[in-house]
Amino acid sequence: MLDVKLPAYEGPLDLLLRLIERNEIDIYNIPIALLADEYMEEIMGSGMEQMSEFLVMAATLLEIKSRMLLPKPPTESSEEILPDPETVTVSTPDGEYIMGRNFDIADAQNTLVHTKPENGYESLATASGMVLGYVDHMPGTVLGRLFMLAAPYFVVDGINEKGLSAAILLLYASPPVNQDTGKISITTTITIRMLLDKAATVEEGIELMAQHDMHSIGNSNLHFQLADATGDSAVIEYVNGEMRVLRSEANGQAVTNFFLSADVKEEYRDGEDRITILQAALDENKGIVTAEKAMQMLESVKAVHDFDQLSGMDYNTSYSIVFNNTTHSMDVCANMNYETVYSFEVRGGR
């Protein structure tokens, strides 16, 4: 049996799995992708007995990965690295509606995920490589690629064929939300998946979210930015377990990493400088900018080795996206290369 060496455990793999099953080791502290790669390297070239053992181990590891989708119990502290983003909603001179999004995080591999469910809407979304466990490289083994099947359920933003776009944004120094009102429990990343699959408008998205008890997947609170093809937009926040809906201002809506609810007082308001820059640009242009201008606005607030005192991490803008809610499309600039724009469209059977 393979011996593994991980930050939270060192010893036989079968013992590790038993400890996880008995909840004696937190699965959130286990880098599943690294574990899979090490195991695959060990059994390459082995006989049928080892391959049979591998299949059992693969099924077990995939089951562990699926459990990571369930709500995580609140803890007193966490070293999990969470995104430090900002979003903005505006309209264009041509009457189209767009939503801009920066995803700022410690360097990692991110994945664009295309889904077309039988009983839902087609969508494009981005999955966080940091959550999936791929930091400096994408999976190179069979088992590692199997883990990528979980990517659609770890998405942090996206747009569907009806023009609904959605994104999650971290709220610093705020306790994680863990609602308990007897409704069906749902995590923050699963919420993005649900919205893209099932909601055509902001109103439908709000109704869906109100039917569930929200749980943060990390050890911090988060809020949501929604926008749709009608020009409607809203920010969804959870204050003391209460779901709140905040509507767009006259010149658009800018969101970053602190509560927009006026009655919430925060000592640590990370991103206040960025939201000031974005709101000034919105006001100057009366909330009407081109997609190119929106990308420039995102570039103006990009994070470059932005040291965060709470996590002790350097944050960089991993990507910037301008979602076009009217044309159900997206423009993406990766790794702060704003000279190269990748364009994608959700066709939705067209």
Q: Which two tokens stand for residue 15?
A: 């013992």
CB 157 within 8 A of CB 128: no
Kindly tell me if the per-residue pLDDT of 58 is higher than 70: no
pLDDT of residue 324: 97
SS3 assignment, position 238? strand
Terminal CA-to-CA distance of the chain, rounded, Å? 52
Q: Which two tokens stand for residue 39?
A: 């195991």
Kindly tell me if the per-residue pLDDT of 73 is higher than 80: no
Helices (H) and strands (E) in the chain, counts: 9, 18
CA distance 65 to 76: 23
- Interacting residues of 147 by C-beta distance below 8 A, sequence separation 6+: 32, 33, 36, 61, 62, 65, 132, 133, 139
% of the chain surpassing 90 pLDDT: 35
% of the chain surpassing 70 pLDDT: 67
Of 31-35, 103-107, 144-148, 191-195, highest mean pLDDT: 191-195
The whole-number average pLDDT for the span 106-130 is 85
pLDDT of residue 80: 47
CA distance 23 to 18: 9
- Interacting residues of 18 by C-beta distance below 8 A, sequence separation 6+: none
Of 76-80, 122-126, 150-154, highest mean pLDDT: 122-126
31 φ, ψ (degrees, to nearest 5): -75, 90
Helices marked H in the chain:
13-21, 32-43, 48-67, 129-132, 142-147, 188-198, 202-210, 272-284, 291-300
C-alpha dihedral, 339 to 282 to 306 to 173, nearest 10°: -140
- Interacting residues of 249 by C-beta distance below 8 A, sequence separation 6+: 282
pLDDT of residue 63: 57
pLDDT of residue 256: 79
| 305 band by pLDDT with thresholds 50, 70 and 90 | confident
* Domains of the chain, each with CATH number or no CATH: 3-67 (no CATH), 86-345 (3.60.60.10)
Write the single-letter amino acid at 219.
Answer: N
| 68 band by pLDDT with thresholds 50, 70 and 90 | low
- Round the CA-based radius of gyration of the chain to a whole number and report it: 21
299 or 128: whose pLDDT is higher?
299
**Least confident range of 38-42, 75-79, 326-330, 332-336:** 75-79
pLDDT of residue 254: 83
| 121 band by pLDDT with thresholds 50, 70 and 90 | very high
Kindly tell me if the per-residue pLDDT of 75 is higher than 60: no
